[in-house]
Amino acid sequence: MSTTSIRLIEPSDGPALAELLSRDKQAYARWLPARPAEFYTPAGQASAIESLLAAHDEGLAWPGVVVSDGTAIGQVGISSILRGPFQKGFLGYWVSSLHQGHGHTSHAVGLALRIAEDELNLHRLEAHTQLENLASQSILRKHGFRSWGIAHDHFYADGAWRDEVFWERTLAGRPAS
């Protein structure tokens, strides 16, 4: 049985992520933001990872990879961290089509929740899913997220504006100091 873990992204993840992302470029066009061609190359991923780690250094994000049997198979991350009276972050994820349907994302989201609570000391996580992304909604629901509304024409993907469900999950993070 394969294991799932998550860890902070590293510069050495660039080539593997570029390969996975370019393989799923068409399939995921419906769900993920459009990116320039450079993004799908090892150099483009090196640059993207540099930006993610800079945001981590500034306390604005926790950018992770999903690992199965020692290999990076996707990304899970907490971004847009707001402190002060909010203490919240935004959850995002994808897993390669080669590894879907085995519970990897669900397990990864559970681990990300622990990092959000124990390491980042956040009080709240938010996420968005397109109305039709039932797999993603199932994962969030399983981890205690509640939907609180629909944003119309919220996300531009695959040539059209898409409606999205907004999700929230409160955590046990300490009150703002």
Ligand X SMILES: CC(C)(COP(=O)(O)OP(=O)(O)OC[C@H]1O[C@@H](n2cnc3c(N)ncnc32)[C@H](O)[C@@H]1OP(=O)(O)O)[C@@H](O)C(=O)NCCC(=O)NCCS
Of 35 and 142, which has the nearer Cβ to ligand X? 142
The DSSP bridge partners found for residue 140 are: none
Q: How many other C-beta atoms are found inside a 10 Å radius of the C-beta of residue 78?
A: 26
**Choice from 19, 23, 25, 28 touching ligand X (CB under 6 A):** 28
- Interface residue with ligand X among 101, 149, 159, 175 (CB under 6 A) is 101
Q: Which helix (H) or strand (E) holds 109?
A: helix 104-114
| Residue 134 is a binding residue for ligand X (CB under 6 A) | yes
> In what order do the strands lie in the sheet containing 146-157?
4-8, 62-68, 71-82, 88-95, 124-130, 160-170, 146-157
Position 35 contacts ligand X (CB under 6 A): no
For β-strands 124-130 and 88-95, DSSP reports them as parallel
For residue 90, the cross-strand partners are 79, 126
SS3 55: helix
Contact present, 173 and 117 (Cβ < 8 Å): yes
22 binds ligand X (CB under 6 A): no
| Residue 106 engages ligand X in binding (rule: CB under 6 A) | yes
Select the residue interacting with ligand X from 93, 112, 123, 125 (CB under 6 A).
93
In the complex with ligand X, which residue's Cβ is closer, 141 or 174?
Answer: 141
Q: CB under 6 A: which stretch of 44-52, 112-120, 129-137, 143-151 binds ligand X?
A: 129-137
Q: Which residues bind ligand X (CB under 6 A)?
A: 28, 31-32, 93-95, 100-106, 129, 133-136, 138-139, 142
